[in-house]
Structure 1
């Protein structure tokens, strides 16, 4: 189903001064990092406390312009339910532990970013299913395609199947902003550079808890360690109400 556009302001998250290292002014107490290294089916996870301590490596670092940058090569360790590697933040509770929140209420994740490079496609933001059933699917994924199209993928049901919606176009290397979220328990809200669309949430998702993800979840795989997706974030904020 195509989203219904409405008017939206061009107010996005403010660009942060990230001179303090990856994250800088970004609150990393709400995140842990999944990396494209480790053992087969068990990627390395970097805890929130390590991230707040200034953790950096080739897959998560401060770029020359100060951005919190994620690098995910096409060859890398994947999670058990994916064929693609990732360098990606997973939402946690502020005091530790995995975040899992109900679809009821209002939940938002806002970011300012640019895709530095991408081979085919990269997912830069997700709402993922958590506790409540056996599905390992996302509720939604926000993709950036190599040609510059920004595409929202909404899952048809917890059993799978995804419907895609082209929601914007930004050349590779240019900054843009998004806000993804849910409201009222039954609506997905997406704003890309001030243009807002809404999408219904199927009843079959409502038994599940949810959590946010953001970073570079590469959507292509090969034997190359030099090709892949690099995504730079200048602001990232999560709110629940």
Structure 2
């Protein structure tokens, strides 16, 4: 009964603050980030429920590496929510530790503008409409995660361009490579071209954390395991609105359905102010 009470209390905190959270596996307490509370506690995740039973998935939509060519399957926020919410072999709760887990094989259905498969969350509004926020203000996404397996390279977090033009590029992508290197890719312009910045190294299977965000309309802020760096946003992006993405966006392809990238999340929050 005590475990269920603690989980209920955590769910209440997340609902009130408008964030998304799952407790990290090895700490206790809580921290306030802007107008969102990021709960961090001893293991409280229930490994017997769907991800929606441990996470507030009311601000996310899921894209999976299945469906018809050029049109991957998407799962709405309403289907993801709750202990009996959606899960399958590409998106599920790890029964050992309660982690929200994403699996993206080398071979899978892709979007028209990508050659790579993904099992990935796309930020939504509570109303069910697609998130599409201005660069002005402060916007952050925080995650605690581990890459369980990766063939070559996987994107675990993005800020992606929304409305405002014709570009389908991201503003930035955060990659994890099989070498353990964590690399930030910042887009040079909406037309393309990416500059890579190595920002850390963590062994495969080890837990780490990141915060990605923008502030002041012109600055990217990145923190990896407590180390923070900043990058200027080119003015060519000013016309575009943005949204967050997180999960396993595999960056290699082959004919294999058994090789790929598996990523487990223990914490994930978004905040806007």
Instruction: Give the TM-score taking structure 2 as reference length.
Output: 0.82
2 CA distance for matches of 1:215 and 1:229? 10
Q: Is the aligned partner of 1:160 residue 2:192? A: yes
SS of 1:204's equivalent? helix
The match for 1:121 is 153
1:202, distance to aligned residue in structure 2 (A): 0.3
The match for 2:74 is 45
Distance 1:24 1:170, change over 3 A: farther
The answer to whether the 8 Å contact 1:26/1:237 transfers is no
1:46, distance to aligned residue in structure 2 (A): 0.3
The match for 1:184 is 216
The answer to whether the 8 Å contact 1:147/1:171 transfers is yes
The match for 1:59 is 90
1:95, distance to aligned residue in structure 2 (A): 1.5
Which segments of 5 or more consecutive residues in structure 2 lack a partner in the other structure?
A: 1-30
Instruction: Say which of 94, 100, 103 aligns to 2:135.
Output: 103
The match for 2:45 is 18
1:44-97 CA deviation, whole Å, 9 max, x = no partner? 000001100421100000112110000000000000100000000000001201
1:157-213 CA deviation, whole Å, 9 max, x = no partner? 000000000000000000000000000000000000000000000000010000000
The match for 2:12 is none
The match for 2:13 is none
1:25, distance to aligned residue in structure 2 (A): 3.5
**Structure with the greater alpha carbon radius of gyration:** 2
User: Which structure has greater helix proportion?
Assistant: 2
Instruction: Give the TM-score taking structure 1 as reference length.
Output: 0.93
2 CA distance for matches of 1:27 and 1:170? 28
The match for 2:101 is 69
Spell out structure 1 runs of 4+ moving beyond 2 A: 11-18, 23-26
Q: Tell me the matched-pair count.
A: 231
Which segments of 5 or more consecutive residues in structure 1 lack a partner in the other structure?
A: 1-10
| 1:81-230 paired onto structure 2 within 5 Å | 81-230=113-262
1 CA distance for matches of 2:129 and 2:149? 32
